[in-house]
Amino acid sequence: RWIYSTLRRRRRKKPHNPSLSYLWRFVSVKTMTSFGSWISRYLSFMCITPLAISFVPLRRYAGTLSHSYRSGHGKDSIQLQALPKAVVFDLDGCLWAPDMYMLWGGGAPFSVEDDGTLRDCRGAKVEMLGSVPEVLFELKTDPKWKGVKVCVASCTDEPSWAQECLDKFKLGDGTSLKSAMMVEEIHGGNKQGHLRNIAKRTNIALEDMLFFDNERGNCVDVSAIGVTVAYVPRGVTALAWERALRD
C-alpha cells in the first residue's frame, strides 16, 4: 500500500493523459497487488516454516513415545515389559517451581509449611508441581515399577538448595522426595552428559530411558542420543504422566 501510494503521488506530478490513466492505474494496482501477495507469501514462509520445522522433533518424540510405550487402550493395559528401565526427571520447573535461581536474594534455609510447601528465608514459596508427589510415590511403592531406576538430571543453578528441597518435600507416606531417587546428577552442563552418566552408573542403555523436562532445548539435546523424552512445560502433571506412558 505504501509503495502504491508513493507511485500515485509521483504520477500526479506528470501531465495527465486520459488515454493512459485507466491503463496505468490498472497495471499499477495489479502489479502492487501481486507484489504484496508475493511479499506476504515470502514472509509467511520465512516466519512460519522455521516455526513448523522447529516442532518436527517434538512431533517425532511424541511418536516415539507412543510407539515405545503403548501396549493397549485401557488404564491398566500397560504391561511391565513395556515400561522404561529408568525414569529420569529434571528438577526446576519440572518437579517444582520456581526455579532455584529465581530465589536469589533468599534461598536456603527452607521451612516446611503446613500444606507441604516450602518457604525460603525471605518467605518466597516453593511448591511441587502437578502430580509430582503421587507419581513419585507410585514409582517408589507400586510393584510394577520394581527394578526401574528413578533418577534426577538437573543443571540447577543452586544444587545445595535443590538438595534441601529434595529432603524437605514429602511424599504420601511421609518420606522425602529424595527417598524416591536412586541416582542423582545435579550439576551444570548439557543434559546429554547427565544422561550418559546415569547410563554408566546404572548400566541401562540410553534407549531404555524416559526423560521428563520442561525445557524444549533439553528435550532436543537428550533425544539426539537416543533417549525417549516427555516435554512437560507445566511440570509432571497427572495427564502428562499418563500420556508419557500410554500415548
Q: How far is the first Cα of the chain from the last one, in angstroms, to the nearest whole number?
A: 49
Tell me, yes or no, if 92 is annotated catalytic. yes
Please say if 213 is a catalytic residue: no
In total, the chain counts a number of residues equal to 247
Catalytic residue among 76, 92, 99, 213: 92
Cβ neighbours around 118 below 10 Å, total: 19
The answer to whether the bond into 98 is cis (omega within 30° of 0) is yes
Q: Find the helix or strand (DSSP H, E) in which 210 lies.
A: strand 209-213
> Rg (Cα) of the chain, in Å, rounded?
27
b/e sequence 206-224, b meaning 16+ C-beta within 10 Å: bebbbbbbbbbebbbbbbe
State the residue for C-alpha cell 501531465: 15
Considering 76, 90, 173, 221, which one is annotated as catalytic? Answer: 90
How far is the CA of 73 from the CAs of 27, 60, 187, 242, 247, in angstroms? 61, 21, 39, 12, 9
Q: Report the C-alpha gap between 62 and 246 in whole angstroms.
A: 11
> What is the set of active-site residues?
90, 92
